[in-house]
Structure 1
Amino acid sequence: MFSKSNVLATIIGFVVMFLLGYAIWGIATAEFFEAHATNSIMKDPPDMLFIALGNLIGTFAISTIYGKWAAGAYSAANGFAFGIWIGIFVGLGMGLLWYGTSELMDMTGHLVEAIIDIIFYGIIGAVIGFVYQKTSA
Structure 2
Amino acid sequence: MAATLTMFILGYLIWGMATADFFEQHSLADVMKSDEDMNLGMIFLGNLIGAFAMSSLYGKWARGHHSAGQGFQFGAWIGLFVGVGMGLVWMGTSNMMDTTGHVVEAVIDIVYYGLIGLVIALVYKATASKEAA
TM-score range, shorter chain: over 0.9
Unaligned regions of 5+ residues in structure 1, if any? 1-10
Residue 122 of structure 1 corresponds to 114
Instruction: Give the total of aligned pairs.
Output: 127
Measured against aligned partners, the alpha-carbon deviations of 1:73-114 in whole angstroms (never above 9, x if no partner) come to 111111100000000000000001000000110010000000
Which amino acid counterpart does residue 73 of structure 2 have in structure 1?
Answer: A
Instruction: Report the secondary structure of 2:3's partner residue.
Output: helix
Which amino acid counterpart does residue 76 of structure 2 have in structure 1?
Answer: I
Instruction: Report the secondary structure of 2:65's partner residue.
Output: coil
Match of residue 32, structure 2, among 14, 26, 42: 42
Residue 134 of structure 1 corresponds to 126
Residue 6 of structure 1 corresponds to none
Map residues 1-137 of structure 1 onto 2, 5 A cutoff: 11-45=1-35, 46-136=38-128, 137=131
Unaligned regions of 5+ residues in structure 2, if any? none
Which amino acid counterpart does residue 33 of structure 2 have in structure 1?
Answer: K
TM-score by length of 1: 0.91
CA distance in 1, matches of 2:102, 2:124: 32
Which amino acid counterpart does residue 49 of structure 2 have in structure 1?
Answer: I
Which amino acid counterpart does residue 95 of structure 2 have in structure 1?
Answer: E
Measured against aligned partners, the alpha-carbon deviations of 1:29-65 in whole angstroms (never above 9, x if no partner) come to 0000000000001111321111111011000000000
> Percent of aligned pairs with the same residue?
57
Aligned residues: CA RMSD: 0.7
CA distance in 2, matches of 1:49, 1:108: 31
Which amino acid counterpart does residue 97 of structure 1 have in structure 2?
Answer: V
